[in-house]
Structure 1
Amino acid sequence: MLNNKKGIIFGVANDHSIAWGIAKKLSEKGAEIAITYQNDIFLKRVKPLASKINSTFLIECDFNKADSIEKTFNIIKTKWGKIDFIIHAVAFSDKNDLNGRYIDTSKENFLNSLNISCFSLTKIAKLSQPILNNGASILTLSFYGSKKVIPNYNVMGVAKAALEASVKYLSVDLGSNNIRINAISAGPMRTLAGAAIANAREVYKYTEENSSLNRSVLLEEIGNSALYFVSDLSLAVTGEIHYVDCGFNIIGIPKKKL
């Protein structure tokens, strides 16, 4: 399905990462993948994973550094020329602001969270234009905390709301070049990012008990949805926020609460 397709994945941190679940699925279907890592600490985790999908194209990319994304795409251009997809799976916030009240968020962390978790997608979309093939796909990751209040998600909920709005506006800007952009809003996962949120275990348990399917989503299932968005099966789909959460987002009042 993805034979002769090349792409880059931003955000693989470990084998629990949603980005890793996506990388495995795309690789299984024939894609050639480049993977970024933030620094040498993350490289030690990412390199063994990359070898599992026969990827030797690893690029250091730190969203905290102004020119890091541009350098990444220059490296891609030199080695591959053009690519067919980009997976944006990077988010960050100081964990001290993911515990307690949103109103107490510091200005510094607010700006940093929005920069890394949201604006980075817009920057990637712009800087990647020269190396994207006709019909290319960009995919990012969101969470239900963008729509409704999730305890302790705080500034990340605001960042994800901005991210989803960005997807819609970018879909218009990119559409004239026949490039798609969409987002997957996955259910709570036991990821490195999720672990930073206070009372995360209670959130996992609640969503498992109250989703339509009464369970949590699996990495492989998110990978399957990503495959759809990256492949030619979704050529007419752009600007969408696609829920992969076992139906949790459609619940108003759970039956068990009545």
Structure 2
Amino acid sequence: MFSLSGKKALIVGIANSHSIAYGIAQALREQGAELAVTYLNEKARPFVEPLAQELEADIFAPLDVTDTAQIDTLFDQIEELWGRLDILIHAVAFCPMEDLHGRVTDCSRQGFRMAMDISVGSFLHLTREAEPLMADGGACMTISYFGAEKVVENYNVMGPVKAALESVTKYMAAELGPKGIRVNALSPGPLMTRAASGIAHFDQLLDMAAERAPTHQLATIADVGAYAAFLASDSAKNVTGGVHYIDGGYHIVG
């Protein structure tokens, strides 16, 4: 029903083959999109490079979202090679472990700033850089979680951080909508990703989510990818500012 043939997509956040960003990248590529894939640093490169090769990425570049120079270099590459950008996937989040495992009340100022900068501020920065390359419209997406809306045990300070991310999504959708740029957040249920493994008692969270969800199934990275591919397509050109749950209906259960 839709195709992404010829669309240019930047994928930020692949860490390994279990990453949500990788599931999205696979789905976009299957629908014909051309990809730019980033990796965090040289330590991460061996895990990401084979995936970028498999995806036939046109651009494979380092990107630490706290490094403005790297962001500038990446977008210069994109402009030089493609001249435009149609899709931005932001799947980056971080919080220092000592702050993630403690009470929200006890979160250090430095840890809170870091979590907000990497998890939220980087989406603002990347979208701002993408805007001039989306002269004909585009789709920007980020990854949230139900803990932004309700208190989820052990999710701790990432709850308020994701709440800020969802609010940023809505405000940018309102501001960029007149240019045909859609901004949406995807909210999968719990998935066993590298980032999620830092959450205390995460196995219990997975079991509880599967038990409580109406489908009794956890979402997969392929499920998230399929939804993202639709939102990236012209068929979703009038869908923006939403938080889209891909969680087997978990979020509707009281």
Report the TM-score, using the length of structure 1 for normalisation. Answer: 0.95
Number of the residue aligned with 1:134: 136
Aligned residue in 2 for 1:228? 230
Any residues of structure 2 matched to 1:76-115 within 5 Å, and which? 76-115=78-117
* Alignment gaps of 5+ in structure 2: none
Q: Which residue among 25, 28, 36 is the counterpart of 1:26?
A: 28
TM-score (norm 2): 0.97
- Partners of 1:162 and 1:67 in 2: CA distance: 25
**What is the rounded CA distance, in whole Å, between the counterparts of 1:64 and 1:165 in structure 2?**
21
CA offsets, 1:140-178, max 9 Å, x none? 110001001112211111110000000110011111211
Per mean C-alpha deviation after superposition, the further-off stretch among 23-32 and 72-81 is 72-81
Q: Letter of the 2:193 partner, please give it.
A: T
SS at match of 2:43: helix
Residues 102 and 152, structure 1, Cα contact 8 Å, conserved in 2: no
Secondary structure of residue in 2 paired with 1:27: helix
Specify every segment of 5 or more residues in structure 1 that has no aligned partner in the other structure, as ranges.
Answer: 253-258
Q: CA RMSD in A?
A: 1.0
What residue is the counterpart of 2:14 in the other structure? 12
Of 235, 240, 243, the match for 1:241: 243
Pairing of 1:60-79 with structure 2 (within 5 A): 60-79=62-81
4+ aligned runs moved over 6 Å, structure 1: none
Alignment of 1:171-182 (within 5 A): 171-182=173-184
CA distance, structure 2, for counterparts of residue 66 and residue 135 of structure 1: 24
Matched AA of 2:242: E
Opposite residue 219 of structure 1, the aligned amino acid is: I
Q: Secondary structure at the match of 2:18?
A: coil
SS state at 2:136 partner: strand
Please give the alpha-carbon distance, in whole angstroms, between the structure 1 residues aligned to 2:193 and 2:135: 32
Amino acid at match of 1:68: Q
Aligned letter for 1:2?
Answer: L
